[in-house]
Amino acid sequence: MSTTTSRPSTVQSSATSLAASAKFKTFAIVFSLTAPVVYVLCELFSLPLFTYHPATNRIDFGWAPGRSGEGPAMYWYGWVVTMLIGSTVLGWLATLLPEGATKKIPLVLVWLLPILALIPLIWSLRPFWEKGGLL
C-alpha cells in the first residue's frame, strides 16, 4: 500500500467547499486550459492590455512603442493582465454552461496545452536565437 501521494487519507477531510464545488471545477479547468492560449495570442499578436515604460513610470493603454529618449517599453505586464482577465471571463462563462458540456473536455489538455504553447513562444524569440554567440 502506498504511504504517500495517491490517496492521502487527510485530503478528503481537508477538502474545502471550494474544492468540492462543481462550478469551481469548471472554472479552474477552463481557466487553466485557456490561459496558455490567451497568453500565446497576446504575445504573437502584440495584444497587451497596457504598455509600461519603466524609465518614466508611464503607462499607455494597449500596445505603444518605446518613445525616443524614454527608454524601452515593456509589454509583458500587459500580456499577463490580459491573460488573467481573459481566462477569468472564459472560466466564468464556462460555469454558465450545463455541467455535461464541460465534462467532455479531455483533461490531458490541461498539461499538454502548456507544453504545446511553448512552441510558438520559442519561435517568437527567434531573433535572440539567431544572433550572437553561445550565450
Partner 1 sequence: MSVAAFWTILLIIHGLLAVALLGALTHQAVAVSMPVRQAAGNFVDRFRAVPAAGYATAVCILWVVTFIMGAWIYTKYRITIRIPIEQAGYWKTQGFFELKEHVVTIGLGLLPAYWYFWKNARDPQYDSVRKWLTVVLAGMIWFSFLVGHVVNNVRGFGS
Positions in the binding site for partner 1 (CB under 8 A): 1-8, 10-12, 14-16, 18-20, 24-25, 27-29, 31-33, 35-36, 39, 43, 52, 54-55, 71-72, 74, 76-77, 79-80, 83-84, 87, 91, 107-108, 110-111, 114-115, 117-118, 121-122, 125, 127-129, 131-135
Q: Which is nearer to partner 1, 10 or 68 (CB)?
A: 10
**Least distance (Å) between residue 12 CB and partner 1:** 5
CA distances from 67 to 50, 59, 72, 89 (A): 15, 12, 8, 33
Q: Which is nearer to partner 1, 8 or 62 (CB)?
A: 8
Q: Residue 43 is which amino acid?
A: E
Q: Which residues of 78-88 are buried (b: 16+ CB within 10 A; e: fewer)?
A: bbeebbeebbe
Integer Cα distance of 110 and 3 in angstroms: 27
Q: Which is nearer to partner 1, 2 or 96 (CB)?
A: 2
